[in-house]
Structure 1
């Protein structure tokens, strides 16, 4: 009897020990601990650890679905909403018998069985683990004996961040394949210094600032993304300032940001009863998700129900097994084999949009469609192209082809898919070399054809010799009379000479020079469309100083050989009598002058765009000064000669044209060659001209980029409180005050910039339209660079290569030398005096004056320099 009692007691003790070993822990577990889903399935559905207030739980869980028996992940789950916020072994799931081991070396997830190699583990730690802790914020931490963190899940997010968690620059959220398959999918949300971007297979397709509710609060570099009680925010300035934020209704409920398997970034809030409310979803249009309809599928959005549907374009059908639209024709196939295949291009039609064309630069601008196809044919990774008719821009689709969406307002873009053309049996037999005998008539005609061919070649040779003799006589006459004449320019062989256009061809392209888009001292500029529908800008140079076609061709070859991303490309030329025509690539967004000062019709240039324009212009000038075989001094750097292409890429125009001026025009070269307002002092003092004259002009342009206004402008006294304070604080120095602003509100901005630099009041110089989206440090950097560029002594100005280094951070920003900037006070004073005499002062914030030529041509350096308003000598382009 006693033995039976002891047996029962032992059995009860065993059950008690088993139940204790399978009970979940709260907040902490300690090394030499092992957990599996089976071990804790009865007591807590597989969870072995709960946070202190049971808000979160950790364990090996299955998300469900058909593979639930073999797909278990070591995860952290929000208890009330049953939402997974972190997963360890997402790409290596284990079965229900898989284990999580906690040892002094860290955590490892192991598949139970013979092979005990971990499928996932924490990295090597700096000291042994004392405990594993799960906090009420959802953070899982490994702690040492002093409770210092050795590793934490918040630093290694998967597809979700929770309230208070930070996603730092360089980190990303990766969406899973599906709700039930937590493996890493193709969609990511990445945080970079300029914002937050969505990527599909490495290609951008959306950014957070595109959300309709997003506010851009500042222009600081982004440091991290966080979810707050009042919304989603990209933070900067050590986490003290919101850069971009999407405000939401303030709430202390459980809220997360998640990269959804559907390819959208969502912010959801738990409102009780396992009901998750979606507060933010981007892209807002589901059709703009890159693979929403599979490969080459077309997404259609029903505006009423906001639901999308998918289809294939005409000539294609759905291959449901591969989620791909494929050609109906059996002679065409996907994918393209890069070797030994005939390539064809299938037109997708107009009215379709593709995500990558909004975030990538074209492979080429201003080319023919056939050239665009050739670029793709030569690239094995290219799967198709999109061609923009207006700008003749060619976009290549590489590596992966996603979905398209129906966009009726995008009729200018046409897509083409690269396909393989299968050879028919007849073609293969023909290629196999089946021999047939020639008919009798061919045997008779072939010798006769050869005889007539010899006669024809002899006649053409005689005619060519006669033309060359005639051209030689015309050339000598042209050299004698200083005229180009109308003869053929092809007799000169000059390496690098761009394409020669016929005058009649350019007449047709410009509709007899109908659409003028600019004019200046070099001549007029006209918009043209070539026969291949390429847009060009045709510049007529009416007063040139060259004598003979060979000299002209030599100069054009020098300009045509210059290739740089920030220089306008010369496509060709034409000569007719004394008139020269240059054909340039067409710039979509016109000039910087039009964009910066053109009024309120267009969007305001953001600070980053201004910074990029300034840097690109500096790079272009640095290349002209030191990157070409022959140094080129531009001599007329100004906003009108800085053109903007796609994505506001700056390109400098009119470089290298100084040698094409006539004697009358070139006489200005020693006195005033360029545009008043941007002229370096050495133009007036007869000092030798060097590339530092361009540096001065660039500095003046840089000041205008900062302020968004002309350097010489009318400014309302009521809108310039800082200026009034400056005057009041210096009322004992009236002459100095007058140079900054007269009683009429006249401001010479370079001098005002100098005064604000001395006071450290840089925000007074920023374009007020930026509305605080720029910092004092950012403005200070550009103002200091600009003031260094406008030193009176050329030797004190930096080279353009050094300016590029200052922008990029490889060279410290210089300190302006005040003694070399005092001349600006004379400029400001004379500017005010001459403007009061020369004409009526306008009250436009953008232009400032009705300009006319001054009759005062003498007076020496200080007085001649007074006419510094933006009065064109060589004119806008």
Structure 2
């Protein structure tokens, strides 16, 4: 929010005394304060003990004798020397009103309102919230800015901790560096917006304490379900925002939550008027088992068993017996026996804090516990399940895939967790085994019936084509039933929805076939991908796309509603994206003018998060292999969604695979894949780097597309970077309005992603970290400049004699749905 330049229009300061508001004609100097209406809080300048040379603008409790600061404006840039500082509402050179704190015309802190307003005032409320609003509008929904959106180390009643899912704005608490230095420390507390959001404390980027997810009553990591005598906790989540907040049981009590760097704990504090001091009502983390992952993956922590608090879950054994004997549990536990899928069952663990939900799939609230169990049992990758809402008889469903991290027993709270184990680990009288028997028997009966039907079709002499279609349908139906019960649409309903695949409803055409817009009978808009009969996407690619997308649940991945296989038609039914695809915006001379920097950066971060989900879903990783601008779809709010998974492949962790059939789109393909057929997560990272550079520059990177100097986009960007002219890469339509530091950072990240050696490229998790932080970035090495050249290169282990066919060069170059 730094103000780069402004013309200072200095108004004559009027005395601000015993008031809660300043107007555009007033200012606040170092000998003045604002006091809230009922005198609960005070805003002004102060110094810290042992550091009297630095002065800060902050808010503190007004009636408490011990000065207790709850918020600071200039925590990173204190007022120094003897020159006084002034807070005022001012006009910039663009005639915009801005709130600034300056010292001798040098800006120490500034904020820009969310929109223009003619007559603004700054007001300190009795809640401790400092708000910028229009003079005659006190509606909190219309605030132009508020300090509650930018917490420091303190959370006050009514403050939100969480994320706005529309804007990606994250409200997070960060500790002071120490008692005398309020600048940002390395301890933070915020909401991890996973499929089942959870509160997480971190030291730097490392998880320190997980308070858990909201289960309808409380957070699963809270030690007791008994109500607090001071605090009332609230959790809210919908499609637009996720947040935690608290209120007070007794509104006359003064209470707060503070993140303390020296103790690395979150303190729940309440003021004791009689003792004239702050009392600690709670602190987190509390004990050994609260430390994140204290017993490692698949290890269960029970503090009542200290000093031997860690045990492996049933069916698991220590990864290292030597380490466990030495009470070093970080390695966790491994399965003793492999799972068999069909004959597996579940063991119930009571009074549990649920595992870290990073690898959790959160289902709708209509499923009961039995339905949740059946869903998990049908998916061989599902490791555990529980109710997401434990009120009453319980409802909702949460499934875990991969290792179970950060488990602990909560003797006075917690909930039931059901962990998958092979049949040999179940008791002989266990009800799960009986249910498995019924399930297996039912499956055999169904399969027998299907075989009889197929045999009947065969002996009736049906054509080979019809048998093939029936086989496709049966395989797909099997996979859907085993995995996620993806709906099969009737062909007649799709024909009606698309007006018999009318040319007027056609959205685009790619290597696998056309895409049509449709409207179902209930009014819902859909996009229908119709596999053309001559397409090279056969049954394998079709099943891949259905199976993969059906399992993927992320806000930055396109949602698959279902499929249709009937009368030799193979159709995929997706959610409809009204803004179509990214390429239609950034490469169009008119549309790109609508793409300001905030939209482009939002899209960059969204694509990175979607790719992070694909690469770190569980033990397996998904390689997209065809990441490009036309496969990035945009919803009505310009949220990006990765689409087209027909070429995707599943790999094990750290695995590299090789193919003799190179498919994808040149210009986005990593050199090791295009020339040798080797693909890995770093291949997708390369494609992401190309995307990033295209978004910033507004220029395409194609094998046959050259810039004015004859170079392709990678060479073009690398030349400007090495010549010290990276600013000239930024799209001319947004250069005057973009965040220069963010844009330059993105250019550097893009060049890191397209480095010639795959091992030099960052992982997508590191990319997300670099985009969301101010950590120092490594310098990029020379990129791969092969694009469009079919020749042996120094990084190729073999020589390609024949260029791939046109269909293989771009088999999914669709205009977006």
TM-score tier by shorter-chain length is 0.3 to 0.5
TM-score (norm 1): 0.44
TM-score by length of 2: 0.47
Larger radius of gyration between Structure 1 and Structure 2: 1
